[in-house]
């Protein structure tokens, strides 16, 4: 029993303060306003306050903190991407992740499980070798392994996948991890709040004021505020915010669904991903299997669930793990993924002065939470794109300088 | 053993003539057919049925309504079986899940001793040392989890079916039956489902000893059962509500996907527990559960009961208990004043004390800790606070709770219903229902028997009217005389253990503490405390949590709002969702031929293609090498029927192709073919193939195997968008194709056709429609593998005959079938690239060396504008050929190994193979343009870090002059692209 739990038994009152305050009203001006109280927005607020001494910040959240994609993803954290830009960026994120529980003094259940991406075709083996080689070049623990390694790590898996898609090998990424997603938002939220940041929940942005291509203020459901700097970190709602400032982006919104089983005793240690079978799965500390698949193949601004998704994912789960036939699915849900053409994010400064973008997070946003916070804080504080995000700017689409992360990001998780 | 079994109860579900033997935790028990696991065990006096999730406290029957998550059991391969509703089966070997040493002596119950140290969210506040977390995590993982998966469980393939109806009624209780009948009488085709083993709902057990109600229920049920337009399915649950009234119905053996024109939710309500200390002890049960025990399973819930009530249902339950031999020692009514009903008077006459304005303050455990020994009661003040100075202890062996209900509105929420909190009813009721969706009965806030009949009738009429049947809706529902639910059946206790959420072992104070920490809106509260996140998904806890939060924040429950309801209603097995597991596989018409030839198949998209043909005593590599050599030296034959095959006709056919492909086709001569490259809007190479002109307004063209489906979809979209005068037909499945290649290919073919195969008459890249014997074919002269060759397109059903003819005719030339691997090697020798392998998601034709196939001076094609922009920018990489030293001995590079220059990534290998004819390794690679000079050396880094040196070589590696595809005797002018 850790000592720190002693206080709960010894004190008469519950000895914990609020993790974050609920400010009564918006002030009339802020040094910076962050739209979106998800992991990304709160992380940016946290690092702005901690590292750049910018504390007069409002985080505006339409619903409740961590209620968007931060709380809807399948919590996989990894850095085995394909492009040098991506690899360096996510590697920094993984590094930050590993210390967050201690930094926050809040246990995020950052659980290092190892991550296997299964190959069922020789073309996927080729792409995985490419990823492994690029990863290793940048010092990331990533390798192409034989089917025997998959079997060793997960002896109960059906190596033939029902005879349809034999496992030919896998990309193994030892640092692959999962974490308790909600707690990430709370940790950053508490850290930001402690340093003076105001978190305004149930506060919707209605418009953004711009004068001669400069941000000057924001209209919200609770009044208008003036600010010289606005960071937009709203994932699936990005197109709506961009409409307010008249910027165009190639982002398309696709639903991304997931589901979770009843808890069972632990049996699945690593994270298993199969692009061909459209499955990714891990077992949480509570014993549930968290399962996901690929994006819905059409654009839709909605978080409704579909039956086809549950049916398809279940069928593929049983191809990999036929013995789960009696295991029951408790719940399914969906998020809105803001997809970009090259499967890389859109970050940094924009054509509008003082308007910064943290978007295009598609299906890979959760794992990037810490590094996004850090690099966006730098970018907002210095009005200069951080080195790690130079290649992710919105203007790359006009410049034909795409990042080409599709091979590692689609159904990658 | 059946010590608690009552004498015969009219309408009981058990069949006393069919006893069932089973074991629980190693002890033998007997029950009857018709029992659930829980009812049989309870009948035998077994009260501890399971252990709770966090503190491992003993738990028994709570709801008997499919949310008793603390009594999950394991029987053989089945895990997390819900004992409260699962029918007992002969020979079951049951045990409680997640115990350490058995349900009776669970060692993990020691955790309760530490409970003061484990407040809400304790795991967020400790174990976070980076060094020690893995240790704690292992411990936590082993403590959590419910049942155990048996890895020998087979892949169960459950049947699925589709069904349709005018009206789907969900819930066959009183209001549901009434609704079904009313709609069916007007002509609607009705399906009514109920998750219970029998229909009738509370009409069969919430009797208050009213024989008339039972009679009416049975009359109604019999009318429904005998109605020609009603299908009644019991033991069938509606698992979720999806868009457009798409509702999966789940029974034991089947998953039915129902598309209903209208839906009536008659889903009832979940009876809610009262929150007081030790409210989780076995023997503290909900009134509806007690009544189910009696009337369904003829089991006496307890001998001496204290009944905690706050509604009319509670008094009915008291009557039912007394009628069936339970001694009711006290009725404790949370309300200050309840209606002086006849019932209450009768009870008082019988000497039963009624304590008005009292609560059960705590339940006391018996010495065996498997049940209740007493209820401690005390008055409450107007705010619901217990006046502990006036406590009294009443000995009893069970506490029956009837304090309120929460609507089973899950499906209504999923359908998008707007619900409103009705303060008088203390319940959320539908306010705005989606079109075609109706609600009746308790979920609609109607509780009394007669009123439910009327409300169901109304919903049935409304649904019928929506369906277009002639119906007059003039129905009035009388308001409830008293509220069915108490606003605050929650009693604080300094020692806690007053549980709000039984799944997750959450006590009252956990909510106060969570709110104190800032989790004071319903969604955050749920996520921090995990209320409602257990297997019952909050069916017995969400309402209490909401009331607590409302009180803390000074809001009404309506203002606090509810969390999002999502599928599933009850958990659904993966086997039901998966069904039979449809995994489509595509086989070419020649599949059986390949099998006979010992082909080793590989997956290409969904296609099964021969990778190579195995020969006994030879390795894979040897077989591939022999196949390639046969093509180079004699003649080979390969099934290329997986290519995408399309036909386009119309006045604008040429214009359409000009727009979607990068080359020029409008001036192609009839009877010729041309290579075609497809780009996307960003100028990236996405597909290639051959276009054959068969007429002025008629082309035939191919795509890659993997691209066929997506390209067809995109072309169809573009054709719709542009509205050109042309039509595209996908012939991929209807046609097949065979490639015949090698120096004797012409000799083989000439044996089978009268067509003049000379270069003069049938030049390279020409196309002819002709017959091979009597099979109509289309012949294209191609050279993908670098030899004289023909691609023969044929109707799919003629392909096997054609294949046989070609093999027979080729016998004298040692014709050899070759697979995908040999073809990949042969094309590499010829320097031909494969889209997708030698290109990636960003490769432009310039980088891939395919500029010759792009005609920038056309007026428009997809990708043109991007290429114009890209042409002004420096090129980032270029595809080159390379060779290893002929004497190279080590491990050769593999595809996607990196080119390294000055310790930086300078490119990657896309194709590599050992060429038997050149006797060395050859390959293609992308490198930076400045490193791409012919004869320069490049460094390839292998997986183990070794560097292999290679020489940049012009392509084709093999036969650069293309002499192999030219006439030996007379060198004739070739048609070139």
Average pLDDT over residues B404-416: 97
The whole-number average pLDDT for the span A245-273 is 96
**Percent of chain B scoring above 90 in pLDDT:** 88
Q: Residue B438 above 60 pLDDT?
A: yes
Nearest partner of B213 among B11, B484, B450, B479, judged by Cα: B450
Nearest to B637 by CA among B833, B790, B533: B790
Rounded mean pLDDT, A148-168: 94
Please, which pLDDT band fits residue B974 given cuts at 50, 70 and 90?
A: very low
Q: Is B108 on the interface with A (CB under 8 A)?
A: no
The residue that leads in pLDDT, B944 or A407, is: B944
The predicted model gives B570-596 an average pLDDT of 93
Q: What share of chain B is helix, strand, coil (3-state, %, to 5)?
A: 25, 30, 45
* B567 vs A107, A305, A327: nearest CB: A305
Task: State the Cα–Cα distance between residues B317 and B313, nearest whole angstrom.
Answer: 6
Does the beta-carbon distance from A201 to B869 stay under 8 Å?
A: no
Predicted local distance difference test score (pLDDT) of residue B973: 39
Which chain A residues touch B896 with a CB distance below 8 Å? 126-127, 129-130, 133
Backbone angles phi, psi at B467, to 5 degrees: -80, -10
Residues 6+ apart with CB under 8 A from B237: B193, B195, B249, B250, B251, B569, B570
Residues B233-288 have pLDDT tens digits of 999 999 999 999 999 999 999 999 999 999 999 999 999 999 999 999 999 999 99
The confidence score (pLDDT) of residue B967 equals: 73
- Can B309-402 and B498-574 be said to share one CATH topology? no
Per-residue confidence band for B582, with pLDDT thresholds at 50, 70 and 90: confident
Domain B159-270+406-467, CATH 3.20.20.210 — does that match? no
Architecture of domain A110-177+252-337: 2-Layer Sandwich (3.30)
Residue B964, pLDDT score:
87
CA angle B113, B116, B117 (to 5 degrees): 95
Hey, where are the domains in chain B?
11-150, 159-270+406-467, 309-402, 498-574, 639-819, 840-963
- Residue-wise pLDDT tens digits, B662-706: 999 999 999 999 999 999 998 999 999 999 999 999 999 999 999
Measuring CA to CA, how many Å separate B925 from each of A84, B79, B776? 18, 53, 41
**How would residue A9 be classed by pLDDT, with cut points 50, 70 and 90?**
confident
Q: What are the pLDDT digits (tens) for B309-328?
A: 999 999 999 999 999 999 99
B257 touches A at CB < 8 Å: yes
Pairing of strands B372-379, B816-817: unpaired
Tokens of A16: 């914990």
Class of the CATH-defined domain A30-73+182-251+342-409 = alpha beta
Give A 69-108 residues with CB within 8 A of chain B.
71, 84, 98-99, 101-102, 104-108
Average pLDDT over residues A14-27: 91
ipTM value: 0.95
DSSP state for residue B741 in the 8-state scheme? E
Write out pLDDT tens, residues B9-32: 999 999 999 999 999 999 999 999
Q: Residue B339 pLDDT > 70, yes or no?
A: no
In chain A, positions 334-353, which contact chain B (CB-CB < 8 Å)? Answer: 341-342
- Closest Cβ–Cβ partner in A16, A112, A285 for B513: A16
pTM for the model: 0.94
* Low-confidence winner among B330-344, B545-559, B620-634, B862-876 (lowest mean pLDDT): B330-344
Q: What share of chain A in percent tops pLDDT 70?
A: 98
In the prediction, which pLDDT does B524 show?
94
pLDDT digits (tens, 9 = 90+) for A369-402: 999 999 999 999 999 999 999 999 999 998 888 8
Distance CA A42, CA B346 (A): 63
Q: Looking at chain B from residue 669 to 728, which residues have their Cβ under 8 Å from any Cβ of chain A?
A: 682-683
pLDDT at A408: 58
Helix axes B508-516, B522-529, angle to 10 degrees: 120
Pairing status of strand B190-193 against strand B230-233:
parallel
CATH superfamily of B840-963: Probable tRNA modification gtpase trme; domain 1 (3.30.1360.120)
Half-sphere exposure of B731 (CA within 13 A, CB side): 20
DSSP code at position A276: T
Contact B280, B253 (CB under 8 A): no
Please say if the pLDDT value at position B970 is more than 80. Answer: no
Percent of chain A at pLDDT > 90 equals 87
Please check whether the domain covering B309-402 is classified as CATH 3.40.50.720.
no
Q: Among partner residues B126, B155, B581, which is closest to A107 by beta-carbon distance?
A: B126
Q: What is the pLDDT of residue A164?
A: 85
**pLDDT band at B603; cut points 50, 70, 90:** confident
Band (pLDDT 50/70/90 cuts) for residue A353 is very high
Six-digit token pair at B456? Answer: 């169901």
The confidence band for B642, taking pLDDT boundaries of 50, 70 and 90, is very high
The band of B304, judged by pLDDT with boundaries at 50, 70 and 90, is very high
- Indicate the fold that domain B11-150 takes in CATH: Ubiquitin-like (UB roll) (3.10.20)
Q: What is the mean pLDDT of chain A?
A: 94
When pLDDT is averaged across residues B485-510 and rounded to a whole number, the result is 96
Candidate from A187-191, B135-139, B407-411 with smallest mean pLDDT? B135-139
**CATH number for the B498-574 domain, one of 1.10.3470, 1.10.287, 1.10.10, 2.20.28?**
1.10.10
- Per-domain residue ranges of chain A: 30-73+182-251+342-409, 110-177+252-337
What CATH number does domain B639-819 carry, 1.10.150.20, 3.40.50.300, 3.30.1360.120, 3.90.780.10?
3.30.1360.120
Q: Is the per-residue pLDDT at B630 higher than 70?
A: yes
pLDDT digits (tens, 9 = 90+) for B225-235: 999 999 999 99
**Mean pLDDT calculated for residue range A292-307:** 94
Residue B972, pLDDT above cutoff 70 = no
Q: What pLDDT is attached to residue B477?
A: 87
Mean predicted lDDT score pLDDT of chain B: 94
pLDDT on residue B969: 39
């Amino acid at each position: 029993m850790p000592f720190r739990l002693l206080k709960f038994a010894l004190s008469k009152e519950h000895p914990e303060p609020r993790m974050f305050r609920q400010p009564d009203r918006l002030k009339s001006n802020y040094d910076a306003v962050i739209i979106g109280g998800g992991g990304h927005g709160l992380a940016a607020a946290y690092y702005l306050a901690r590292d750049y001494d910018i504390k007069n910040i409002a985080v505006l959240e339409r619903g409740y903190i961590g209620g968007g994609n931060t709380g809807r993803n399948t919590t996989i954290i990894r850095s085995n991407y394909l492009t040098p830009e991506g690899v360096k960026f996510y590697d920094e994120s993984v590094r930050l992740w590993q210390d967050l529980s201690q930094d926050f003094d809040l246990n995020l259940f950052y659980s290092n499980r190892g991550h296997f991406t299964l190959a069922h075709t020789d073309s996927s083996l080729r792409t995985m070798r490419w990823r492994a080689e690029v990863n290793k070049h940048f010092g990331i623990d990533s390798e192409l392994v034989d089917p025997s390694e998959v079997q060793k790590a997960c002896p109960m898996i059906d190596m033939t996948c029902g005879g349809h898609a034999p496992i030919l090998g896998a990309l193994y990424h030892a640092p692959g991890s999962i974490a308790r997603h909600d707690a990430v938002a709370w940790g950053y939220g508490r850290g930001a709040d402690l340093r003076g940041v105001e978190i305004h929940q149930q506060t919707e942005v209605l418009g953004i004021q711009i004068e001669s291509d400069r941000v000057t203020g924001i209209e919200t459901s609770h009044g208008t505020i003036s600010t010289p700097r606005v960071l937009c970190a709203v994932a699936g709602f990005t197109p709506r915010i961009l409409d307010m400032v008249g910027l165009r982006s190639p982002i398309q919104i696709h639903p991304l669904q997931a589901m979770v089983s009843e808890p069972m005793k632990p049996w699945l240690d690593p994270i298993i991903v199969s692009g061909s079978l459209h499955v990714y799965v891990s077992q949480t500390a509570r014993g549930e299997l968290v399962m996901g698949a690929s994006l819905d193949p059409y654009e839709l601004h909605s978080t409704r669930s579909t039956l086809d998704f549950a049916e398809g994912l279940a069928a593929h789960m049983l191809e990999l793990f036929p013995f789960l036939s009696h295991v029951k699915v408790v719940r399914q849900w969906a998020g809105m993924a803001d997809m970009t053409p090259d499967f890389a994010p859109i970050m940094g400064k924009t054509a509008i002065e003082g308007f910064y973008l943290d978007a295009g997070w598609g299906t890979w946003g959760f794992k990037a939470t810490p590094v996004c916070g850090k690099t966006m804080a730098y970018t907002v504080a210095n009005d200069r794109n951080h080195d790690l995000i130079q290649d992710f700017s919105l203007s790359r689409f006009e410049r034909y300088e795409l990042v080409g992360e599709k091979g590692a990001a689609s159904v990658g998780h | 053993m059946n010590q608690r079994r009552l004498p015969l109860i009219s309408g009981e579900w058990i069949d006393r003539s069919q006893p069932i033997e089973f074991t629980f935790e190693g002890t033998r028990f007997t029950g009857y057919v018709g029992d659930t696991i829980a009812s049989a065990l309870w009948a035998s006096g077994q009260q501890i049925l399971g252990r709770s999730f966090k503190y491992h406290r003993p738990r028994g029957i709570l709801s008997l309504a499919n949310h008793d998550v603390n009594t999950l059991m394991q029987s053989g391969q089945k895990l997390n079986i819900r004992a409260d509703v699962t029918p007992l089966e002969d020979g079951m070997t049951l045990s409680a899940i997640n115990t350490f040493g058995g349900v009776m002596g669970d060692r993990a119950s020691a955790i309760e001793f530490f409970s003061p140290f484990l407040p809400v969210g304790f795991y967020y506040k400790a174990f976070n040392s980076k060094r020690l977390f893995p240790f704690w995590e292992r411990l936590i993982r082993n403590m959590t989890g419910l049942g155990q998966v048996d890895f020998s469980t087979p892949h169960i393939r459950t049947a699925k079916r589709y069904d349709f109806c005018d009206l789907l009624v969900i819930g066959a209780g009183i209001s549901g039956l009434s609704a079904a009948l009313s709609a069916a009488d007007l002509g609607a085709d009705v399906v009514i489902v109920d998750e219970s083993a029998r229909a009738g709902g509370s009409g069969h057990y919430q009797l208050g000893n009213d024989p008339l109600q039972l009679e009416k229920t049975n009359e109604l049920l019999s009318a429904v059962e005998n109605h020609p337009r009603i299908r009644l399915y019991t033991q069938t649950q509606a698992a979720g509500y999806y868009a457009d009234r798409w509702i999966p119905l789940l029974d034991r053996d089947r998953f039915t996907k129902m598309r209903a024109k209208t839906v009536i939710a008659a889903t009832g309500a979940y009876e809610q527990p009262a929150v007081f200390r030790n409210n989780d002890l076995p023997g503290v049960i909900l009134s509806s559960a007690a009544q189910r025990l009696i009337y369904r399973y003829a089991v006496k819930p307890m001998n001496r009961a204290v009944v905690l009530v706050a509604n009319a249902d509670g008094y009915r339950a008291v009557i039912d208990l007394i009628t069936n031999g339970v001694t009711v020692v006290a009725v404790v009514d949370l309300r200050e004043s309840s209606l002086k009903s006849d019932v209450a008077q009768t009870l008082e006459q019988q000497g039963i004390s009624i304590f008005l304005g009292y609560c059960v303050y705590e339940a006391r455990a018996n010495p065996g800790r498997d049940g209740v020994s007493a209820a401690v009661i005390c008055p409450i003040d107007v705010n619901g606070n217990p006046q502990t100075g006036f406590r009294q202890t009443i000995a009893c062996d069970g506490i029956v709770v009837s304090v309120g209900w929460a609507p089973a509105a899950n499906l209504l929420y999923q359908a998008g219903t707007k619900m409103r909190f009705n303060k008088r009813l203390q319940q959320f009721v539908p306010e705005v229902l989606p079109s075609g969706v109706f609600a009746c009965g308790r979920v609609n806030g109607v509780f009394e028997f007669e009123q439910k009949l009327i409300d169901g009738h109304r919903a049935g009429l409304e649904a019928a009217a929506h369906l277009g049947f002639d119906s007059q809706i003039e129905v009035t529902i009388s308001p409830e005389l008293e509220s069915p639910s108490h606003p605050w059946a929650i009693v604080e206790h300094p020692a806690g253990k007053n549980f709000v959420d039984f799944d997750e072992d959450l006590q009252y104070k956990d909510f106060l503490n969570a709110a104190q920490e800032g989790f004071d809106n319903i969604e955050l509260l749920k996520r921090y405390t995990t209320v409602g996140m257990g297997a019952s998904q909050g069916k017995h806890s969400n309402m209490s949590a909401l009331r607590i939060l409302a009180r803390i924040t000074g809001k009404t429950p309506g203002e606090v709002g509810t969390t999002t309801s999502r599928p599933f209603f009850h958990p659904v097995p993966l086997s039901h969702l998966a069904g039979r597991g449809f995994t489509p596989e595509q086989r070419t018409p020649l599949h059986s031929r390949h099998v006979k030839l010992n082909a080793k198949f590989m997956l290409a998209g969904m296609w099964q293609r021969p990778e190579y043909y195995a020969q006994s005593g030879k390795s894979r590599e040897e077989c591939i090498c022999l196949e390639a050599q046969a093509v180079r030296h004699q003649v080979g034959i390969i099934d290329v029927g997986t290519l995408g095959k399309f036909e386009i006709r119309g006045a604008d056919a040429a214009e359409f192709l000009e727009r979607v492909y990068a080359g020029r086709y409008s001036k192609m001569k009839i009877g010729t073919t041309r290579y075609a490259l497809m780009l996307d809007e960003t100028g990236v190479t996405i597909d290639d193939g051959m276009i054959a002109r068969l007429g002025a307004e008629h082309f035939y063209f191919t795509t890659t195997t993997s691209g066929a489906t997506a390209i067809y979809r995109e072309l169809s979209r573009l054709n719709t968008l542009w509205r050109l005068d042309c039509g595209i037909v996908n012939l991929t499945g209807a046609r097949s194709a065979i490639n015949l290649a090698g120096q004797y290919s012409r000799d083989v073919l000439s044996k089978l056709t009268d067509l003049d195969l000379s270069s003069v008459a049938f030049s390279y890249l020409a196309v002819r429609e002709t017959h091979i014997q009597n099979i109509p074919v289309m012949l294209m002269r191609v050279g993908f593998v670098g030899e004289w060759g023909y691609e023969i397109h044929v109707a799919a059903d003629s392909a096997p005959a054609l294949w046989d003819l070609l093999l027979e005719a080729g016998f004298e030339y040692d014709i050899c079938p070759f697979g995908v691997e040999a073809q990949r090697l042969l094309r590499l020798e010829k320097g031909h690239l494969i889209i997708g392998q030698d290109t990636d998601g960003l490769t432009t034709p310039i980088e891939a060396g395919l500029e010759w196939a792009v005609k920038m001076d056309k007026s428009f094609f997809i990708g043109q504008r991007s290429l114009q922009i890209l042409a002004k920018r420096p090129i980032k990489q270029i595809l080159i050929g390379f060779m290893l030293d002929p004497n190279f001995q080590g491990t050769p590079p593999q595809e996607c190994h990196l080119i390294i220059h000055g310790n930086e990534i300078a490119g990657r290998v896309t194709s590599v193979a050992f060429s038997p004819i050149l006797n060395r390794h050859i390959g293609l690679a992308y490198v930076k343009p400045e490193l791409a000079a012919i004869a320069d050396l490049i460094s390839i880094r292998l997986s183990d870090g070794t560097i292999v040196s290679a020489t940049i070589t012009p392509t084709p590696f093999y036969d650069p002059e293309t002499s192999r595809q030219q006439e030996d005797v007379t060198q004739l002018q070739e048609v070139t692209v």
